[in-house]
Structure 1
């Protein structure tokens, strides 16, 4: 059983999609799949910036990296050029390469490598970011491969909601047409939650499976000792730590959080303790958040951290912060929620209070939601800082929610079942938990 996973970023990159795809690739390979990953050569990983090798292995996973530009995530134009060049080179790889080159069975003849063998037909999985990447899957499908698209956010709806495209604009109509084409032809579409599934079905998707993004429940777990080491390394003392970890992206909003931090710096919690906001990551909004918080002693910034450091970092926090613009509600699902829940840390969601993430946190008692209101955010964080028992109980419920929905093995097992069906084989166990 062969599968090609296509995404612009992969191990050792620390982008959320790269980490998720690495988990999926590792677990598929461990289950006996012949896994190849097609990615770009640019990297933002700590210790491995710049260009990565065109070909290497990560455990049992073969990595093929195509040449593309590497302007980075700091500005929209550079990201767009990176997207376009990766799309072009990935498309060329799928259209012209001998994917089976170097396999024990020998090279396939040109035009033959996509045909089904004893392990069923090969399957290509494309992520929806960048939004045109799924066209690579259509090219593979035309050569006989199965095609699955993993939808991270809904295009063009999210671009229209964020003001990138105007409603009814040529760009919006173009992306809508591409989306209808991809969704209508894909052998399977993976949505992150039920609300996204309904939207995809309405847009013409034939077969939609709901498999949420996950976290590794063994690597990330409640760990008091790790948290103490993390707090010592961060030198946060006894302060109440609010952690935002990940991409500071265009779908997120930070003005209310920054203003709340200013209020908390001026008027600490009733017991005199400090509330410290820690931002770990990068993204297009990082610069403006730094500017807003430049003179605040209770706000700190760190770059992306290696995965092996995340257990200590995540456990060092008292609560994890997630923000989402109201207009993006229902169009994407922040992957950082699963990591917080894995460590038994409650989530404070700012914005999108009527969305599915907010509803789930409320129902499970695993976090709190508030609007983009500086006074409300400051009041909530101050109240939580004064009530450790309340925070601990929400943390316990957070881990319970994680175990029934977001655990890595549960999610990747469902992926195995889905891909086996698309490949036309029946692996041992259907992979559904």
Structure 2
């Protein structure tokens, strides 16, 4: 079978959405599918085009049996509301013709569009209609809602227009998915029929990320004692992640010499974060670590930190959570009871209200001082990863759904052709 994927982000970018779009494409290729991907040059999370790539030209490459067509992209060095919109619009403008051309020449059986960028998705829906392919939209986050909540879009009239466009884009696909139950509910409230909406989780390779990985390569470098407690955040550093809360918590706990904050990542908020922690001896700020060392990094933690702004609780499920759970370490997340994130870490971590630094510090102190509780949550975290976040299980289930949709689409297409013949 033939699969066409439209995804703004792809390898060699390694964290967040690029990881999952890449691994999905490569997994299908390994299963014998012919896979083409329309994407952009790598730029995330550093917000600069990767070495060896060009921002303003089309290019083709083969990567692990996947055919890639990279489209021109505007990449702002300091993204803000307007620049982010222009960034997304540039990909929509350049990838639209590319998706149509790929579909018409390649004739895929199924097309999968990944959002963000939702503005680019209509081209994928149109390509599916023109070629008779089954169409899927996978929503990694609700970018419009996040932009509104973070004040990136202020004009209500413009927001209403965008909301209407979002609803029409979502309904243009045969099927729509999201990584969590709360996000699937959001799809339904936006007009996606219940039978067309389903959960397609982000995953982790539980065979590679395991609780028994030796983390000494990191803990030795960090010079932390056997009884010290390492709090780890690893991922994109942006306002959406609420990472500045970590700086405030570290300042509050600076007198607790056995508690160490380790923050690994890159992104637009890194400079601001570095300035906020520059005088704190309990914070180690590191660049993104090599992908091959991710298991050791995750297992170097005693506790994982998952900060989020309040508005993001049910609009995005952080992809980094899968690895946190697979490492068999408890998670402290800033989330409200009943939210999607709170549901995902139930019995595998604890939550603190978003924006409440005192509550976050209390949660850290409580868990840092209670080894038996940490041990209990460790086991629950690993079990949750194995039952809910296994890569092969999740992708096998998605493949089954795609194959069934392709079969149903073929039957429907044959019926339409038969009707046209009778009419003639």
Band the TM-score falls in, shorter-chain normalisation? 0.7 to 0.9
Across the two proteins, how many residue pairs are aligned to each other? 399
Note the alpha carbon deviations across 1:293-349, whole angstroms, 9 max, x for none. Answer: 121111121222232110111111111110112222211111111110011111100
Structure 2 portions without partners, runs of 5+: 410-424
State how far apart, in whole Å, the 2-side matches of 1:211 and 1:112 are: 28
Could you say which residue in structure 2 is the equivalent of 1:410?
A: 393
Note the alpha carbon deviations across 1:124-160, whole angstroms, 9 max, x for none. Answer: 2111112312122123123223221101122433322
State how far apart, in whole Å, the 1-side matches of 2:276 and 2:11 are: 32
Asked if residue 153 in structure 1 is aligned to residue 141 in structure 2, the reply is yes
Match of 1:376 among 351, 359, 372: 359
Q: Is the 8 A contact 2:245 2:307 kept in 1?
A: no
State how far apart, in whole Å, the 2-side matches of 1:392 and 1:300 are: 25
- The equivalences for 1:247-258 within 5 A come to 247-258=236-247
1:195 to 1:44, Cα distance in 2 relative to 1, 3 A: closer
State how far apart, in whole Å, the 2-side matches of 1:237 and 1:187 are: 54
State how far apart, in whole Å, the 2-side matches of 1:98 and 1:353 are: 45
Q: Is the 8 A contact 1:351 1:369 kept in 2?
A: yes
Could you say which residue in structure 2 is the equivalent of 1:27?
A: 27
1:162 to 1:358, Cα distance in 2 relative to 1, 3 A: same
Task: Kindly state the Cα deviation for residue 113 of structure 1 after the two structures are TM-superposed.
Answer: 4.3
TM-score of the aligned structures, taking structure 2 as reference length? 0.87
Task: Kindly state the Cα deviation for residue 201 of structure 1 after the two structures are TM-superposed.
Answer: 1.5
Q: Is the 8 A contact 1:325 1:352 kept in 2?
A: no
Larger helix fraction of residues = 2
Could you say which residue in structure 1 is the equivalent of 2:118?
A: 131
Could you say which residue in structure 2 is the equivalent of 1:59?
A: 64
Q: Is the 8 A contact 1:240 1:274 kept in 2?
A: yes
Q: Is the 8 A contact 1:45 1:306 kept in 2?
A: no
Stretch deviating more after TM superposition (152-161 or 292-301) = 152-161
In structure 1, the residue corresponding to 2:260 is in which secondary structure? strand
1:152 to 1:98, Cα distance in 2 relative to 1, 3 A: closer
1:405 to 1:385, Cα distance in 2 relative to 1, 3 A: same
1:332 to 1:338, Cα distance in 2 relative to 1, 3 A: same
Asked if residue 216 in structure 1 is aligned to residue 205 in structure 2, the reply is yes
State how far apart, in whole Å, the 1-side matches of 2:336 and 2:119 are: 27
1:51 to 1:418, Cα distance in 2 relative to 1, 3 A: farther
Asked if residue 330 in structure 1 is aligned to residue 317 in structure 2, the reply is no
In structure 2, the residue corresponding to 1:278 is in which secondary structure? strand
Asked if residue 283 in structure 1 is aligned to residue 267 in structure 2, the reply is yes
State how far apart, in whole Å, the 2-side matches of 1:143 and 1:237 are: 62
Could you say which residue in structure 1 is the equivalent of 2:50?
A: 49
Task: Kindly state the Cα deviation for residue 181 of structure 1 after the two structures are TM-superposed.
Answer: 1.2
Could you say which residue in structure 1 is the equivalent of 2:348?
A: 366
Match of 1:172 among 159, 183, 199: 159
TM-score of the aligned structures, taking structure 1 as reference length? 0.85
Could you say which residue in structure 2 is the equivalent of 1:103?
A: none
1:175 to 1:35, Cα distance in 2 relative to 1, 3 A: same
Q: Is the 8 A contact 1:240 1:275 kept in 2?
A: yes
Q: Is the 8 A contact 2:141 2:315 kept in 1?
A: yes
State how far apart, in whole Å, the 2-side matches of 1:126 and 1:259 are: 38
Match of 2:297 among 313, 336, 346: 313
Stretch deviating more after TM superposition (406-415 or 288-297) = 288-297
Q: Is the 8 A contact 1:127 1:133 kept in 2?
A: no
- Over the aligned positions, Cα root-mean-square deviation in angstroms equals 2.5
- The equivalences for 1:178-217 within 5 A come to 178-206=165-193, 207-217=196-206
